[in-house]
Structure 1
């Protein structure tokens, strides 16, 4: 006797791995936003991690990459000079505060915006992209990042790491099968923990107020462990913010025209802002949060800054292996 269609669907759902998504969280508003196959092992099953023999770590070391080949966030300040660890100016707030966060956790840190430095990654326990943009890596850097992940490396993408390397499918997969599409005004809203057992979320309040641009995403993330969302119903007042040095767009970008096409509707009842996954042999921890410089400062008094810094420090620690990853 032939099995009924409903029985087959039920059996497939039971057999699906724990990370598998049936439809999209938040309902149909998130359907049809793409679900490409990136041709690698990815998800929350550790079988996708290459646990190869490696040298013991005496001190955790991270590499911070903040190069912009398109729009530049004010929190990054003026573009940095070449090489590793060039001199910082007073407006290079993210680079300076990430040094402090690393020191507070006992980590060594190098920082760069020089693509030539991105071909030697094997000495780092984590590579961290913060508000990079567009084609920030050349071909040699792309090759090095891929080989680094395949050797079991750790990647952390923060804020406009999602506005980077749009036309490189492997990188889109690294982000969780997603990319930045657009955002509304910079405004306050509530970040909601949906998984409080991760190293990055443990100890954080169930809900905390923060200010950000609240990125809308296309495609919608898949095969990831969602850690935090933004409650779109809590969207509040627009916040004042510093403007980027010399404007948001580099020379050669034409001014924007008034839009005559549709606008992204948001993600409704499930709008993710942080998640994790194993990817092509490595570990990836991602968050769309982190637009404003004050979110990184120890004493800036910005709403949710302490929680945000704990979130990203936990994510970095987890991809390095200093804390459990994605569970």
Structure 2
């Protein structure tokens, strides 16, 4: 759990400082504990606490109250988390955040009326390890807050999609489309059966496709070929230039795009029925566990990439914002290693994607002085493959497999 400067954590949060450290601390400062705090038995994980915010400064979704009821019920039924629901920004205090593991924005809209001090406090809380979860219109929120926009990973543009039908039909049928499962091995998708499922939902089109940006790992995407039809409104698919036939609808990332604070966002949450689905509830519970205590891996070309015996080295020299060399000749079956000599974080990702729209190869982020293997290069066939840094898009190079 992250700490907020100037606050005092209760003793239950400091249980790891057992033994002689507890005695030492007791001689310096008294740490108050409330009557309802208990220390979990040794070896049992801490149950995460969620602060669920559903305040709206624009359009208000009719499913908000139902989502609060369902998520509150899940907390009671599963015991996997606890939750406090609010629509009052006054509840975002240093004391409250000190007792919070995850902040959930559920169908928020408009500019959240935080003070500048609250924004600064929240940003620091996230940088200190606080987790963030967003549902549906959380991506239609805080367009004027740069930190929030980076954290969520994408911003709402429109919702033109309907189901695949060419006749007048009930709205349930018009709105149903196929959701594709990606990264099935990710723990959030652990309970999903099959590689796709139909769902009636209001699917968002993004101002900028989040795939391939920051360290976004897509979990679910929309099969846009299943949205071409004369619904209300019509969905004309590739006839309209604004369609790119790639629309992520659920993803994970880190808040700053390169390692700080875990984030989960889902577009699925417009209708009451969405929250009643067993698969949505299972993914939500899994997402809570992942945001609280999971490990984020950037996208890779395959779940089980070849481990190369030899890795060609590409460096990012200090202050240059270039890769050296920018043409890397790699024998087939061998790999590529990024060595970062810069003070900024960098990674490598291919511009080309596979049939599932995943990069052919990608590295984790290498911090200053660090190294990162570029996963997937050893599986490439002979040819030229362009790559770039997802943080600093002007940094680019080519892998030539021979």
TM-score by length of 1: 0.65
Aligned-pair distance for 1:97?
0.9
Which deviations, in whole Å up to 9, do the C-alpha atoms of 1:218-270 show, x marking residues without a partner? 12211211111010112278999xxxxxxxxxxxxxxxxxxxxxx872331x2
Aligned-pair distance for 1:199?
1.5
Structure 1 window deviating more from structure 2 (305-314 vs 125-134): it is 305-314
User: 1:271: which partner in 2?
Assistant: 247
Q: Which of the numbers 101, 126, 151 marks the counterpart of 1:174?
A: 151
Q: Which of the numbers 111, 117, 126 marks the counterpart of 2:91?
A: 117
Q: Distance in 2 between matches of 1:318 and 1:145?
A: 20
Does residue 211 in structure 1 map to residue 200 in structure 2?
A: yes
Q: Look at both structures and tell me which one has the larger radius of gyration over its CA atoms.
A: 2
Q: Which runs of 5+ in 1 are unaligned?
A: 1-49, 77-91, 241-262, 298-304
Q: Which runs of 5+ in 2 are unaligned?
A: 4-12, 16-44, 163-174, 233-239, 299-402
Q: Distance in 2 between matches of 1:132 and 1:238?
A: 30
Kindly tell me: are residues 72 and 239 of structure 1, through their superposed partners in 2, closer, same or farther at Cα, counting changes over 3 Å? farther
Tell me: higher relative CO, structure 1 or 2? Use CA pairs within 8 A at least 6 residues apart. Answer: 1
Does residue 162 in structure 1 map to residue 139 in structure 2?
A: yes
Q: Which of the numbers 104, 107, 119 marks the counterpart of 1:128?
A: 104
Q: Which of the numbers 93, 97, 102 marks the counterpart of 2:75?
A: 102
SS in 1 for 2:251: strand
Q: Which of the numbers 288, 294, 308 marks the counterpart of 2:280?
A: 308
Q: Is the 8 A contact 1:191 1:209 kept in 2?
A: yes
Aligned-pair distance for 1:278?
1.6
CA RMSD after TM alignment: 2.8
Which deviations, in whole Å up to 9, do the C-alpha atoms of 1:145-171 show, x marking residues without a partner? 211111101100110000000111111
Q: Distance in 1 between matches of 2:144 and 2:129?
A: 24
Q: Is the 8 A contact 1:274 1:287 kept in 2?
A: yes
Q: Distance in 1 between matches of 2:182 and 2:140?
A: 24
User: 2:217: which partner in 1?
Assistant: 225
Q: Which of the numbers 215, 219, 234 marks the counterpart of 2:226?
A: 234
Kindly tell me: are residues 123 and 239 of structure 1, through their superposed partners in 2, closer, same or farther at Cα, counting changes over 3 Å? farther
